[in-house]
């Protein structure tokens, strides 16, 4: 029973960790209509910022979180319009062109990081690194709790922003129908830049947490891109609230399969779940995706 | 008699230039022939000089070059009373096995090398072996550690480092002897990828030979979260946790274990802890981690070319600016094998195809002592043509430094067992 409870907690916390970067990924897809392969690149960049804050300045890795938002948010704001223009160009298959561009951006980020920082694996140290809390028979890793709370806060904040503000209304309107939104006076180009900036900033913040929970090297970006894609498909493309549910579900499946069946079957279990959900509900687990 | 016109004209200038270029071009082959008269043994190095394995690729190249520099400084390889220098040629496998095979073919066909020094990765080595077989060119591999390289029974390839299944397996026996009170159980985690899985299988099989009970054997995907596995192992509470994986997984095992407040009495990993980045990434949490190496600068071996292991380490430090690891040492020792085989063969360069086959047979008969340790290749079985002579040395991170702790004759410090609880 102890192991069962620990496994359940592990799964929910893994889900929380995955949700940190998949929520913003969904937002970017909803507005830009691009599956951004660069997501793993932004996560890793955030992780490296966390590492250098610790290694060079001797500060707590958590201090990199707001800095990651500002720095990579600004970079995303500059890149966003390029992606937007390619996605809405008059070429035959603009969606494929945008996909290729995001893949190119990912390759560029990965290659740039390899050249700049090499292949070695780095670690982000925070005040909570390795700290845990014993609640009865269950051990709770505190840094994962922080990541789960962070994901919930980002999801809640985005939800409020999207449904309680005029700008959020504009974003939803753009996601719903770009042309009609433009006719109503929404500056689609600037809005896309803002949304991509917001997404890149949030993802890089999540990257600091990922670096603190796991470790960071330029090669791990692909893993995060894959997970974001899994969650997005399970959640329904563009569904922010679905991302939270899907991430938690995947986390719990991974934990239980790893503990009770064998870790080498966890990916198979995830793929099977993905397949079944697509079969039963193609618009995602909450039936709210595109 | 008409006066000779020595004035400058465009026609004369062009004519003169053309003649000079023609004469130069005609003369070049003679210059080349004159240079080529100083016979050398040509050795080709195939390794990763670009791509994701560039760091390891350079380690192998540096090791091979250290031998070439050392032997050339002595006038070259001794053959029948004369000395012949060694000329190195390089082929980049770009961290891809298929490109490695192409590079090997190019070195053999275009550069006409007499012998090859093998790649950094086992995958590339496996891809190059058929090329060696096709052209009947011997290869000495100073790095490949996968048992699959030798299971293929390569006629022309020879390995200096013992396959990882032997070293990881034997290391558990060494650890079990050092542990007080004696360790009884072991849990093995291995990443589901070729090298790591073979390491894990070595630990799994070695447990039995060491008299340890296998609590669990967990195969994990490279991208998986380790929390469920560590939770499961914590519930089983084995004395030793052995991990087959590269640096990133090793770091994550330590971090996840600490976050779950679980520490086994011993944590052993085969590869990665000797990379300074491991201790740097984990800081004090890396302390106590045990690793396995097949060579250290402190081992008590020596030879005529490099001197003692310490002399070799100093030479490498001077040329490379850092302490050499066992891969660089094994690659340098590959050259010693070649030098010894050429001396016994007694054939001067360039080697004929028949002599290259004879060189392969001479390498197979190697039985020498080097600064790296004893070298003698297996003549049969699953480790065919691999040098499984070296006994693995256990190292442990103590106070941020990697020190030898076992077996007793190689130990520089006491082994810390059991590990204390996390601070």
- E strands within B289-409? 290-293, 302-303, 307-308, 367-370, 373-376, 393-398, 401-406
User: In sequence order, which residues have a C-beta less than 8 Å from that of residue A164 and are 6 or more positions away?
Assistant: none
Which of the pair, B35 or B341, is modelled with greater confidence?
B341
Q: Is A223 on the interface with B (CB under 8 A)?
A: yes
* Closest CB to B224 among A114, A142, A266: A266
Percent of chain B with pLDDT over 90: 71
| pLDDT mean over B68-86 | 95
| pLDDT mean over B140-155 | 94
The alpha-carbon gap from A199 to the nearest alpha carbon of chain B, in Å, equals: 23
Q: Write the pLDDT tens digit of every residue in B286-303.
A: 999 999 998 988 888 999
Q: Residue B10: its pLDDT value, please?
A: 57
Q: Is the pLDDT of residue B76 over 60?
A: yes
Contacts of A2 in chain B (CB under 8 A): 235
Q: Residue B30: its pLDDT value, please?
A: 46
Q: Do A259 and B225 touch (CB under 8 A)?
A: no
Q: Which tokens sit at B337?
A: 């094998």
DSSP designation for B422: P
Which of the pair, B322 or A139, is modelled with greater confidence?
A139
Q: Do B52 and A267 touch (CB under 8 A)?
A: no
Q: Is the pLDDT of residue B4 over 60?
A: no
Q: Do B225 and A143 touch (CB under 8 A)?
A: no
Q: Is the pLDDT of residue B17 over 80?
A: no
- E strands within B270-348? 290-293, 302-303, 307-308
- Rounded CA-CA distance A139/B79 in Å is 68
Q: Is the pLDDT of residue B21 over 60?
A: no
Q: Is B258 on the interface with A (CB under 8 A)?
A: yes
Residue spans of chain A under pLDDT 50: none
Give me the interface pTM, i.e. the ipTM: 0.86
**Average pLDDT of chain B?**
89
The alpha-carbon gap from A105 to the nearest alpha carbon of chain B, in Å, equals: 19
Q: Is the pLDDT of residue B188 over 70?
A: yes
Q: Which tokens sit at A52?
A: 């250098």
B87 torsion bin: left (phi>0), alpha (psi -120 to 50), beta (else):
beta
Q: Write the pLDDT tens digit of every residue in B97-125.
A: 999 999 999 999 999 999 999 999 999 99
Q: Do B228 and A7 touch (CB under 8 A)?
A: yes
- Rounded CA-CA distance B155/B138 in Å is 8
Q: Is the pLDDT of residue B244 over 70?
A: yes
The alpha-carbon gap from B421 to the nearest alpha carbon of chain A, in Å, equals: 12
The alpha-carbon gap from B140 to the nearest alpha carbon of chain A, in Å, equals: 27
With CA atoms as reference, report the closest residue to A96 among A108, A105, A86, A110.
Answer: A86
Of the pLDDT bands very low, low, confident and very high (cuts 50, 70, 90), residue B272 is confident
DSSP designation for B237: -
Q: Do A215 and B261 touch (CB under 8 A)?
A: no
The region of weakest confidence among A65-74, A238-247, B172-181, B237-246 is A238-247
Q: Is the pLDDT of residue B193 over 90?
A: no
Of the pLDDT bands very low, low, confident and very high (cuts 50, 70, 90), residue B1 is very low
Contacts of B201 in chain A (CB under 8 A): none
Q: Is B58 on the interface with A (CB under 8 A)?
A: no
Q: Residue B34: its pLDDT value, please?
A: 44
Q: Do A125 and B283 touch (CB under 8 A)?
A: yes
Q: Which tokens sit at B414?
A: 């006491």
For chain A, give the number of residues. Answer: 290
Q: Do B283 and A3 touch (CB under 8 A)?
A: no
Q: Which tokens sit at A45?
A: 């960049």
Q: Is B192 on the interface with A (CB under 8 A)?
A: yes
Q: Residue A205: its pLDDT value, please?
A: 95
Q: Write the pLDDT tens digit of every residue in A227-236.
A: 899 899 899 8
Judge whether B141 and B132 are in contact, CB under 8 Å.
no
Q: Residue B11: its pLDDT value, please?
A: 60
Q: Is A3 on the interface with B (CB under 8 A)?
A: yes
Q: Which tokens sit at B204?
A: 């799994």
Q: How far apart are the first and last CA of chain B?
A: 107
- Rounded CA-CA distance B129/B163 in Å is 16
Q: Is A52 on the interface with B (CB under 8 A)?
A: no
Q: Do A139 and B261 touch (CB under 8 A)?
A: yes
């Amino acid at each position: 029973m102890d192991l069962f409870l620990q496994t359940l907690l592990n799964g929910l916390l893994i889900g929380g960790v995955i949700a940190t970067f998949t929520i913003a990924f969904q937002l970017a897809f909803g507005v830009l209509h691009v599956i951004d392969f660069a997501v793993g690149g932004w996560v890793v960049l955030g992780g490296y910022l966390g590492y250098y804050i610790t290694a060079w300045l001797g500060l707590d890795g958590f201090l990199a979180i707001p800095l990651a938002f500002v720095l990579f948010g600004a970079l995303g704001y500059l890149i966003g319009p390029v992606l937007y223009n390619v996605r809405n160009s008059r070429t035959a298959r603009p969606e494929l062109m945008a996909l290729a561009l995001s893949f190119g951006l990912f390759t560029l980020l990965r290659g740039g990081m390899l050249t700049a920082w090499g292949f070695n694996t780095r670690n982000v140290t925070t005040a909570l690194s390795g700290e845990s809390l014993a609640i009865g028979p269950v051990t709770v890793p505190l840094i994962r709790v922080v990541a789960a709370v962070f994901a919930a806060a980002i999801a809640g904040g985005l939800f409020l922003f999207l449904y309680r503000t005029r700008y959020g209304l504009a974003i939803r309107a753009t996601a719903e129908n770009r042309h009609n939104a433009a006719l109503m006076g929404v500056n689609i180009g600037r809005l896309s830049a803002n949304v991509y900036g917001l997404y890149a900033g949030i993802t890089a913040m999540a990257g600091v947490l990922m670096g603190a929970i796991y470790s960071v090297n330029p090669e791990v970006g692909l893993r995060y891109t894959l997970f974001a894609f899994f969650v997005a498909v399970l959640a329904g493309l563009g569904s922010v609230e679905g991302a939270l549910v899907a991430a938690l579900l995947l986390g719990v499946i991974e934990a239980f399969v790893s503990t009770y069946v064998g870790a080498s079957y966890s990916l198979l279990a995830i793929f099977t779940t993905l397949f079944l959900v697509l079969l039963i509900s193609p618009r995602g687990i909450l039936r709210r995706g595109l | 008699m008409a006066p000779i016109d020595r004035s400058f004209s465009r026609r004369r200038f062009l004519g003169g230039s053309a003649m000079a270029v023609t004469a130069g071009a005609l003369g070049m082959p003679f210059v080349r022939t004159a240079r080529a008269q100083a016979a050398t043994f040509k050795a080709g190095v195939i390794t990763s000089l670009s791509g994701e394995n560039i760091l390891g690729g350079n380690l192998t190249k540096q090791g091979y070059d250290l031998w070439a520099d050392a032997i050339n400084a002595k006038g070259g390889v001794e053959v029948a009373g004369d000395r012949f220098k060694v000329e190195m040629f390089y082929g980049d496998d770009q961290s891809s096995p298929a490109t490695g095979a192409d590079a090997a073919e190019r070195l053999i066909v275009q550069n006409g090398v007499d012998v090859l020094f093998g790649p950094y990765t086992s995958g590339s080595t496996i891809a190059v072996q058929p090329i060696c077989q096709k052209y009947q060119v011997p290869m000495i591999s100073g790095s490949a550690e996968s048992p699959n390289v030798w299971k293929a029974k390569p006629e022309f390839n020879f390995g200096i480092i013992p396959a990882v299944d032997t070293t990881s397996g034997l290391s558990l026996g060494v650890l079990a002897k050092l542990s007080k009170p004696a360790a009884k159980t072991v849990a093995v985690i291995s990443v589901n990828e070729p090298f790591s899985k073979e390491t894990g299988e070595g630990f799994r099989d070695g447990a039995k030979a060491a008299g340890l009970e296998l609590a669990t054997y967990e195969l994990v995907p490279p991208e998986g979260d380790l929390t469920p596995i560590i939770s499961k192992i914590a519930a089983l509470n084995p004395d030793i946790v052995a991990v087959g994986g590269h640096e990133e997984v090793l770091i994550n095992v330590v971090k996840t274990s600490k976050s779950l407040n679980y520490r086994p009495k011993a944590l052993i990993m085969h590869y990665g802890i000797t990379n300074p980045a491991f201790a740097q990434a984990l800081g004090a949490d890396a302390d106590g981690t045990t690793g396995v190496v097949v060579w250290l600068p402190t081992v008590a071996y020596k030879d005529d070319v490099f001197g003692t292991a310490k002399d070799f380490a100093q030479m490498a430090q001077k040329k490379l600016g850092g302490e050499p690891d066992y891969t660089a040492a094994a690659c340098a020792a590959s050259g010693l094998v070649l030098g010894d085989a050429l001396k016994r063969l007694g054939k001067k360069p360039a080697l004929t195809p028949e002599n290259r086959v004879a060189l392969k047979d001479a390498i197979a008969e190697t039985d020498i002592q080097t600064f790296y340790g004893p070298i003698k290749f297996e003549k049969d079985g699953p480790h065919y043509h691999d040098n499984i002579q070296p006994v693995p040395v256990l190292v442990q991170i103590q106070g941020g430094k990697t020190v030898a702790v076992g077996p007793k004759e190689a130990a520089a410090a006491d082994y810390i067992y059991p590990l204390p609880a996390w601070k």
